[in-house]
Amino acid sequence: MNIPLRQYWCLLARYIKPQKGRFMSLAILLLSSIGFQLVNPQIMRHFIDATQSVATSWSLLRLALLFIGVALAQQVVSVMATYVSENVAWTATNALRADLAEHCLRLDMSFHNAHTPGEMIERVDGDVTALSNFFSQFVIQVLGNALLLVGVLALLYREDWRIGLALTGFALLTLFVLGRFQNIAVPHWGAERQASADLFGFLEERLAGTEDIRSNGTEAYVMRGFYRLMRELMRRSLKATLMVNILFNSTFLLFALGNAVAFAVGAWLFREGMLTVGTAYIVFYYTNMLERPIEHITRQLGDLQKAAAGIARIRALFDVRSKIQEAGDGAVGALPRGALAVEFQTRLVALAMDDSGLPDSCEARWKALDAVFAATDAAGIPRDRIYVDPLVRPVATHPEQAGRCLQMIREIGERGGGARTVVGLSNISFGLPGRRHLNRTFLALAAASGLSAAIIDPLEPDLMATALAAACLTGRDDFCMDYITAQRKGRL
């Protein structure tokens, strides 16, 4: 799977451009760290050579203090760079998550029926998380370590052209191997991300249906499906990791070759009297430093393969288009302007809330309803065609809201001017065990308070029996005919 370079660049530019100030600060910090890494070995070389001569203790102390100061400065700069890079990564990935979530919310139900909520969480969050390093450090780390590589080779040429030439060959060979293995793991990481999404989708659906699973005795069946998906995720993860390890192990072998070359050339030049002890040390040190930028570039390419898989899946998600296209004003299929409820004499459901969010008190609910009634009255919509939802909230997290909802049902009946009421019944028991008991009891209490209608499961016999009994006892079932008919048909 080869991802065009343009896709990387477009994605990076879109989400990094709004925080270019932070990005420039990050670049300066990383380049400063590279500079410190190149300078410190030179100080150590002078220290070692000074110990072989007649240098004073004060001169050695100054060199030691300078070495320690540069090392501490490098650590401080590295910490600051890490802090800034994390801010850049979180800001960029959160913006991408928001865009991706907004795009998915605009898709039609055929898409959402084909993809479980758990899968969508993993695709919107998990795939984007894989891009965090790509946004925060990839370009700067690759360019910065390339500059460090060039700087180290230049300093080695400065010491002796033969050393520089030998280690340049080593660096070119290593980079060639990295280029050959650049995309080896991309398809495998894509498969791993899909396996993870499948697992999360499975968990979300089964956790939501825990009661049904237990009541039907299908725990073993569900656990078998869970183990199957876990096994598939483990298999794909191991395969993707193995592909990346091919890249890592190849560089480790090359590093061993580089150290051997450095030892051989350094020993030969030292024996010939062309190098001092300090210079021999610096050759060995810079050879090890060559490993560092190459290793960082290797790790960045490994992360890039994860990012490439994420980019491909994100791009595929962005490319999905809703089958229901919104038409603009005047276009074919565009909805006419005006109050459709007036023209078609429809019934309306009015939520007792406004843009400030879910209200806690009855007063806040009435404030929102007064604005709704003012608009419907102005449009000429009769109150008896309006069904007000007083907003049922879970008793598990808002125990006081059950009573306030019942109070709103009573008040709407008294001062709503003929408006009716409707509730989403199952909201009351969300997150609690034995939900059907709470649903049936709350339906009876709401009916006694004057509830007009409810959104319920008509296939649940006990709940329907409660609804029929409540209608009978509150006078909504004339002569109890609906109740009697249900009894004769065996529905009670």
The one-letter amino acid at 435: R
Identify the pLDDT of residue 140: 65
Dist CA 352 CA 390 (whole Å): 5
Sequence ranges of the domains in the chain:
5-319, 340-456
pLDDT of 339 reads: 62
pLDDT tier at 331, thresholds 50, 70, 90:
very low
Weakest-pLDDT range from 194-208, 257-271, 472-486:
257-271
Does pTM top 0.85 for this prediction?
no
Averaged pLDDT for residues 280-286: 73
Contact 426, 456 (CB under 8 A): yes
Q: How confident is the model at residue 183 (pLDDT cuts 50, 70, 90)?
A: low
- Is 60 exceeded by the pLDDT of residue 150? yes
Q: pLDDT: is 117 or 336 the higher one?
A: 117
Would you place residue 325 in the very low, low, confident or very high pLDDT band (cuts 50, 70, 90)?
A: low
Spatial separation of the C-alpha atoms in residues 80 and 101, rounded to whole Å: 32
**Alpha helices, DSSP H only, in 380-480?**
401-415, 435-449, 461-473
pLDDT, position 442 = 93
pLDDT band for position 410 (50/70/90)?
Answer: very high
Q: How far apart are CA 211 and CA 204, in angstroms?
A: 14
B/e letters for 279-315, b = 16+ CB within 10 Å, e = fewer, are bbbbbbbbbebbbebbbbbbbbbbbbbbbbbbbbbbe
Helix or strand holding residue 349 (H, E): strand 348-351
| Nearest-angstrom CA–CA distance, 281 and 336 | 82
Q: What is the pLDDT of residues 309-323, one digit of tens each?
A: 677 778 888 888 887
183 membership: H or E segment, kind and range: none
* Buried b or exposed e, range 84-106, using 16+ CB within 10 angstroms: bbeebbebbbebbeebbeebbee
333-342 confidence digits (pLDDT tens)? 444 555 666 6
Name the average pLDDT for the chain: 80
Inter-residue contact 275 to 283 (CB < 8 Å): yes
Closest by CA to 130, choosing from 8, 2, 300, 309, is 309
pLDDT of residue 347: 85
Architecture of domain 5-319: Up-down Bundle (1.20)
What is the pLDDT, as a whole number, of residue 327? 53
Beta carbons of 428 and 456 less than 8 angstroms apart:
no
**Which of 38-42, 76-80, 278-282 is predicted least confidently?**
278-282
Largest CA distance in the chain: 118
For the ranges 161-165, 178-182, 187-191, 273-277, which has the lowest average pLDDT?
Answer: 178-182
Tell me: pLDDT of 16 over 50.
yes
Q: How does DSSP assign 291-336, residue by residue?
A: HHHHHHHHHHHHHHHHHHHHHHHHHHHHH---SSPPP-TTSTTPPP
pLDDT of residue 330: 46
pLDDT given for residue 134 in this prediction: 66
User: Is the pLDDT score of 3 beyond 60?
Assistant: no
Question: Residue 386 forms beta bridges with which residues?
Answer: 348
- Domain 340-456 CATH (choose: 1.20.120.80, 3.20.20.20, 3.30.70.2860, 3.30.930.10): 3.20.20.20
Phi and psi torsions of 395, nearest 5°:
-70, -20
